[in-house]
Amino acid sequence: MKLVDRSAFDVARDVNARRLSAREVTDAALAQADAVDGQVGAYLRVEYDLARAAAARVDARIASGERLALAGVPLAVKDNMCVIGTRTTCASRILEHWTAPYTATAVQRMLDAGCIPIGKANLDEFAMGSSCENSALGVTRNPYDLSRVPGGSSGGSAAAVAAREAAIGMGSDTGGSIREPGAFCNLVGFKPTYGRVSRYGLIAFASSLDQIGPLTRTVRDAAMAYDVMSGHDPMDSTSLPRAVEPASRALPTDLRGLRVGIVREFDLQALAPAMRTIYERAYAELESLGAALVDVSLPTVDYGVATYYLIAPAECSANLARFDGVRYGLRVDAADVGTMYEQTRAQGFGPEVKRRVLIGTYALSSGYYDAYYVRAQKARTLAAKDFAVAFGACDIIASPATSCPPFTLGAKSDPYSMYLMDYYTIPMSLAGVPALSVPCGWVREAQADLPLGLQLAAPHFAEPLLLGAAHAYEQATGYSARVSPAAAGSATGIEEPA
């Protein structure tokens, strides 16, 4: 096994045991990025100096006798999270040259635990999109098929981990932005309960939905990352002041006694036959691990996308108002301040960002507020109630993560079909419950094997249960083990030391 193929768990264990140095792991990750990222395009910038300095610090701490939960683990940071001294762009022209003067809390926790920041990963501009194609600063390709998208918006973080350019990717999920790229890149993509991970330093898209989480090649790695990044932060009023139960300690290998809800409204008949087969098999696999499948209903689930596309744009229309050319970022000079605002924002924002700012502004406008924003909030309350009722009858919910496998770049040109990509993931975001996608098999399309993800969701704060179920499923099925062609094709991976 090449060094870059190693899980975060293995790397941290060996660096802590001084069988491996953070420096070696870092060099291997940087070399892998040099070798494959020209094709994959996961990173907007590889942070060589930052990574090597971090590696030196981790090695020094290990040498002084410290043990670090994620010692030497290479990390891809989505470029909507502030890291002091690095450009933090949100893949937008408006922040293309902005350098963050502080570090996001969740990133800082990962760095303090020994992670090595390899680079800042591409995303859909301001995390708005489901394919990474809305990036204004670069193209990211799916390491399992370079003609296809990696998913989005955390597509860069997902591609980096799938291409072995990092062991953990930090993503943010607003309506599926971790889970969908996780599914598309054959990874575990985990969105914790809203409020579990601090948003301080995460450049906001939709504040009431945004949540940071990990993208990893194993469930255990996701659990380890979650244990490190979660917990109350006094800098974020929405972060929960509730103790976090560690999820990585005891991960079960079977699902005996677990009631898995299959959502009646998520009818597998709606899927292409090849995909339907995969999910039928996945449910059967859960059952064979000892789970009891139960029929549950989420009656308002079909309103999810419409609800989401009012609330998220409404919040983003205000969140993005600060990008005005006055204090930082792009400024297009003009004769008066009003024109300066208009020109700066016209040139700085891409079309999808503008569309959402406009939708949101409209939805909040006098005369429309009650018909749109207020009704959407009511629908959101109903969505949360749906889950509360369903979780009375089951412990976790299983569903497809996406309605299709990774598609080719440029295939989805109309925004509405792109919005529907989040059909399965949005309801959990509206309810604020933890959810993840875990690899569940392959469909063959145009001579390529394309990964699919199984989505599992649990009640608020039930992360240990959720990750435990995903771990048992992953251990029994092993779909996550297949290495991406882009990663495997690299000739520069450093072999494991003897």
Partner 1 sequence: MKATYEAVVGIECHVELKTRTKMFCGCANAFGSEPNTNVCPVCLALPGALPVPNGVAIEQTVRAGLAFGARIPAYSKFDRKNYFYPDMPKNYQISQYDMPLVQGGEVRYWLEDGTMKRCPLVRIHLEEDTGKSTHAGSGDGRIAGSLYSLVDFNRAGVPLMECVSEPALHSAADAVAYLASLRRTLMELGVSDVKMEEGSLRCDANVSVRLAGEAALGTKTEIKNMNSFRSVQRAIESEVDRQISLLERGERVVQETRGWDEANGVTHPMRSKEQAHDYRYFPDPDLVPLEIAGDDVERLRVGLPELPWERFERYTRAFGLGSKQATQLIDTPSLARYFDRVVNASSNPQQSANFVLGELSRLANDSGVAVADSKAEPEGVAELIVLVEARTVNSKIAKELLERMWRNGGSPKAIVEDEGLAQTNDADEIENLVEGVIAAHASVVADYRAGKSNVIGFLIGQAMKASRSKADPQLVSELMKKRLR
Residues at the interface with partner 1 (CB under 8 A): 80-82, 88, 90, 95, 98, 100-102, 104, 199-204, 206-208, 234-238, 314-315, 317-318, 321-324, 326-328, 337, 341, 361, 364-366, 369, 373
Report d(CA 437, CA 470) in Å as an integer.
8
Among 358, 355, 347, which residue's Cα sits nearest to residue 324? 347
**What angle, rounded to 10 degrees, do the helices at 8-16 and 219-229 form?**
70
Q: Which residue has the tokens 């609330």?
A: 311
**Distance in Å, CB of 47 to partner 1, minimum:** 18
The answer to whether 153 is a known catalytic residue is: yes
**Distance in Å, CB of 417 to partner 1, minimum:** 28
Report d(CA 366, CA 58) in Å as an integer.
54
**Distance in Å, CB of 429 to partner 1, minimum:** 13
Where are any strands of DSSP class E within 236-326? 259-263, 292-296
Judged by beta carbon, residue 211 or residue 216, the one nearer partner 1 is: 211
Judged by beta carbon, residue 237 or residue 269, the one nearer partner 1 is: 237
Sequential DSSP letters for 111-179: HHTT-EEEEEEP-SGGG--SSSTT-SS----BTTBTTB---SSSHHHHHHHHTTS-SEEEEEESSSTTH
**Distance in Å, CB of 430 to partner 1, minimum:** 13
Whether 68 and 12 have beta carbons less than 8 Å apart is answered as: yes
Judged by beta carbon, residue 98 or residue 283, the one nearer partner 1 is: 98
Q: Which two tokens stand for residue 117?
A: 């920041």
Of 7, 21, 78, 239, which is the active-site residue?
78
**Distance in Å, CB of 151 to partner 1, minimum:** 23
The answer to whether 191 is a known catalytic residue is: no
Of 92, 131, 177, 208, which is the active-site residue?
177
Q: Which residue has the tokens 């992953």?
A: 474
Of 7, 21, 135, 153, which is the active-site residue?
153
Report d(CA 108, CA 82) in Å as an integer.
10
The answer to whether 78 is a known catalytic residue is: yes
Whether 266 and 299 have beta carbons less than 8 Å apart is answered as: no
Judged by beta carbon, residue 33 or residue 206, the one nearer partner 1 is: 206
Judged by beta carbon, residue 318 or residue 382, the one nearer partner 1 is: 318
Catalytic residues: 78, 153, 177
